[in-house]
Chains A and B, each alone.
Chain A
C-alpha cells in the first residue's frame, strides 16, 4: 500500500509543478544577485545570501532559507492536507477502506508518502541551489569559507554542515506535515486542512515576534526553524537545534496520535 501511495504522489504532475514553483524563487534571487551584484549585508536578508557572491557552494543554504519561512511550508501543507481529505472529497476514501488493508495501514502509507515528499522537496531545493550557485557564482575550490564565528570552514565542513541543515529543515517540515495530516482527518475539504495548518504556522510566527508571548515561545512550532544557522557557528551551537528536534518530535507524535485516533474511529461516508 505504501508503494501505491508513493507512486500516486510522484506520478501526479501537480507534485512536480509544486516542487518546480518552489525552486523558482531561489533561482530568480540568484539571477538577480548575479545581474546586479548586490548582495545583502551579512546578517540581513535570508541567511547566507550575503556570502553567495563570493562562494556559490553556500547557495543551497540560502535557497532553503529563502523558501523556509513561507513557500516550503505551503507546499508541505498542500500535499499533507490533501492526503486523507483529498480522497474523501474525491469520493474515493470509502473504496480505499473497502480493501482489507485497514485504516491504520492507509494512514501509515499516507504518512510515508508525505515524508517522502518533504524529503524530496528539501533535497531538490538544495540540489537546484547547488547547481545554480556553482554555475552563477564563484566557487572557492581551495580557499576556506568564513563561518559566522569568523573562523574558516573547510569545504568538507561546509558540506557536512549543509547536510545537517537539510536534515534539520526536513524534520522541521515534518511538524507542518503532521498538522496538515491531522486536519486532513478532521475534514473532507483538503483546502480547509491546508489552510488550518498554515493558520497555525502564521499564528506561531506572529506570536514569536511578541515579547509578551515570550513565555510560550519555546513551545511554538516555528520557534527553532531558523536555528539551522547555528550549524555554521564554531563550535556548533547545539542548544537550539536540539530543542527544535525535540519540539518537532513532540508535535509529530502528538498530532499523528490524534490523527490516528480520529481516523480509525471516524464514520467514513464519502
Chain B
C-alpha cells in the first residue's frame, strides 16, 4: 500500500509532464508578431535559466560567465517596458534589478549596496536579459519569415505553449536554432532554448516555472535604497579606455555581415549582423590585449595563427586579432559574437586589410 502510494506520488510530476499539450493554428510569422507585441503584457513569475557554456574569461567578467554556465533562479514582476523588477535568488541572498522610467537600481544583498545605472547604449548581458520573455522578444526581433517554423507545443509553467523555431539563415551563424514556446493568450515567450552546433546540451535554456498574468503592485517594482546601504553608480562599458592610438576605420561589412549603428556607441566599437547572428568588434589597448591573448591561447581548442587567437564556447566565439600599432601593425582588436570561427577569421583579415586613415 505504502509503496504503491509512494510510487504514484513520485511518478505524478512525470505523468503530468507527459500529457500532450494543446496546439493552436497560428502561423510562424503570426506567432512572432504576437511575441514582439507582448512588451506591454504585465506578469509576475519565477524562472530558471541554465547555461551550458564554459567561458574562459577573466575575473572582470565572472558575472557574465556565471550567467552562461550556471543555473540562475529569477523572480520577476513586470508592469511595463520601463517598470519592472527581476531578482536573482540564491540560497542565502539575492540581487535585484529594479527598472524605472530613467534607469535601473540594482540591490546587492551580499554587498549591502544599491547601484544606479542609466541605461547605457552598450552593456554586458545581465540576469534580467535571461528572462524568457525578454530573451524571446530580443532573439525573435529580427527573425525573417523564412527563418521561422512551427514546432510541437509544450507545457510550460502550466500553460500549453505554442512552439516556434528560428533557424538563422546567415552563413556566418553559429547558433543552429532557437526554440521559443509562446503563451497562446498573450504572446509572451515562456521558454527559450538556444542551441549551437551539434552538441546535445543547449547553450542556454531559460523557462518560467510559475507565471501569473495579473499586474503586480507598483510598490513591488519600486526601489528606494535602504538606510545604511552603500549607494554607487554602475560602471558603464563605454567608460572603458579603448586606447587613443589612431586606428583605421572599421569596414562597413565584415564576413558578409552589415554594420549597424547605435546612438552613443563609440566609433572604435563596431556591431555587425542581425537577429541572432551578431559580431561585435572593438579596438583593444595593447596592455589589455596581451593578457587576454594569453588566456585565450591557453584554452583547450584555441586556434592560434598569424591572424590572432580565436576560441569557441558553444555558439559564442571570441578572438584577439591583429598586432600592436607599436610594432607597426594595424592595432589589436577584440572580436566577439555568435558567429563561426571561420567567419571570425574572415572578419579579422578584412579588418587588417582595411585602408589606414
Determine if A43 and B107 form an interchain contact, defined as CB atoms under 8 angstroms apart: no
Q: Which one of A42, A151, A233 lies within 8 Å of B226 (CB-CB)? A: A151
Q: Select one of B6, B92, B110, B229 contacting A229, CB under 8 A.
A: B92
Identify the closest chain B residue to A257 (Cβ): B2
Contact call A150/B225, Cβ cutoff below 8 A: yes
Q: How far is the CA of A151 from the CA of B87 in the complex (A)?
A: 13
Task: Give CA–CA (A233, B46) in the complex, Å.
Answer: 14
Question: In whole angstroms, how far apart are the Cα atoms of A257 and B9 in the complex?
Answer: 15
Known: A43-B109, A254-B2, A258-B2. Contact between A219 and B92, CB under 8 A?
Answer: no
Q: How large is the interface on B (under 10, 10 to 19, 20 to 34, 35 or more residues)?
A: 20 to 34
A150 to B93, CA, bound (A): 10
In chain B between 1 and 23, which residues have their CB closer than 8 angstroms to a CB of chain A?
A: 1-2, 5-6, 9-10
Contact with B along A10-43 (1 / 0, CB 8 A): 0000000000000000000000000000000111
Segment at the B interface, from A141-149, A173-181, A183-191: A141-149
Q: Which of A47, A146, A250 contacts B92 (CB 8 A)?
A: A47
Contacts of B91 in A (CB 8 A): 226, 229
Q: In the complex, are the beta carbons of B87 and A149 less than 8 A apart?
A: yes
A233–B6 contact, CB under 8 A? no
What's the Cα separation between A44 and B228 when bound, in Å?
Answer: 19
Q: Which of B2, B110, B114, B223 contacts A44 (CB under 8 A)? A: B110
Whether A41 lies near B110 (C-beta < 8 A) is yes
Contact, CB under 8 Å: B9 / A250: yes
Q: How far is the CA of A239 from the CA of B5 in the complex (A)?
A: 24
Q: Is A152 an interface residue (CB 8 A)?
A: yes
A54: chain B residues within 8 A (beta carbon)? 228
Distance in angstroms between the alpha carbons of A54 and B229 in the assembled complex: 13
Across the interface, which residues of A come within 8 angstroms of B5, CB to CB?
Answer: 254
- Give the CA-CA distance A219 to B227 in the complex, in Å: 40
B210 within 8 A of A: yes
- Alpha-carbon gap, A219 to B6, bound state (A): 12
Task: Please report which residues of chain B, range 296-346, place their CB below 8 angstroms from some CB of chain A when the two chains form the complex.
Answer: none
Residues from 123 to 173 in A contacting B, C-beta threshold 8 Å: 143, 146, 148-152
* A36-58 near B? 1/0 per residue, CB < 8 Å: 00000111100100000010000
Judging by beta carbons under 8 Å apart, are A43 and B93 in contact?
yes
B241 to chain A, nearest CB (A): 30
Are A261 and B220 in contact (CB-based, < 8 A)?
no
Q: Which secondary structure characterizes the binding site on chain A? A: loop
**Counting CB contacts under 8 A, is A237 at the interface?**
yes
Cβ contact of B210, chosen from A150, A233, A239, A258, cutoff 8 A: A239
B75 near A237 (CB under 8 angstroms)? yes
- Complex interface: chain A residues within 8 A of B94 (CB): 148-149, 233
Interface residues of A in 187-235 (CB under 8 A from B): 219, 226, 229, 233, 235
Alpha-carbon distance between A257 and B223 when the two chains are bound, in angstroms: 49
Q: Which residues on the A side are within 8 Å of B220 (C-beta)?
A: 235
Which residues between 214 and 236 of chain B lie within 8 Å of chain A, taking CB atoms? 220, 223, 225-229
Query: CB distance A150 to B96 under 8 Å?
Result: yes
Closest to B5 in A: A254
In the complex, chain B residues whose CB is within 8 Å of the CB of A235: 220
Partner of B229, one of A150, A239, A258: A150
Cβ of B92 and Cβ of A43 under 8 Å apart?
A: yes
Interface residues of A in 229-259 (CB under 8 A from B): 229, 233, 235, 237, 239, 250, 254, 257-258
* Residues of chain B within 8 A of A257, CB atoms compared: 1-2
Give the CA-CA distance A257 to B107 in the complex, in Å. Answer: 47
Most chain B CB atoms below 10 A, which of A47, A146, A150, A257: A150
B residues less than 8 Å from A250 (CB atoms)? 6, 9
B228 touches A149 (CB 8 A): no
Check if A261 sits within 8 Å of B2, measured CB to CB.
yes
Q: B90 on the interface (CB 8 Å rule)? A: yes
- Does any Cβ of A come within 8 Å of B245's Cβ? no
Docked Cα-Cα span, A77 to B277, in Å, equals: 57
Q: Can you name 14 A-B pairs with beta carbons within 8 Å? A: A41-B111, A42-B93, A42-B112, A143-B227, A146-B228, A149-B87, A149-B109, A150-B96, A219-B10, A229-B91, A233-B89, A239-B210, A250-B6, A258-B2
A-to-B contact residues, CB < 8 Å = 41-44, 47, 54, 143, 146, 148-152, 219, 226, 229, 233, 235, 237, 239, 250, 254, 257-258, 261
Known: A150-B226, A226-B91, A257-B2. 6 other contacts (CB 8 A): A143-B227, A146-B228, A150-B96, A150-B109, A150-B225, A261-B2
B interface, CB within 8 angstroms of A: 1-2, 5-6, 9-10, 46, 75, 87, 89-94, 96, 107, 109-112, 114, 209-210, 220, 223, 225-229
> What 3 A-B pairs come out closest when comparing CB atoms?
A43-B93, A150-B107, A43-B110
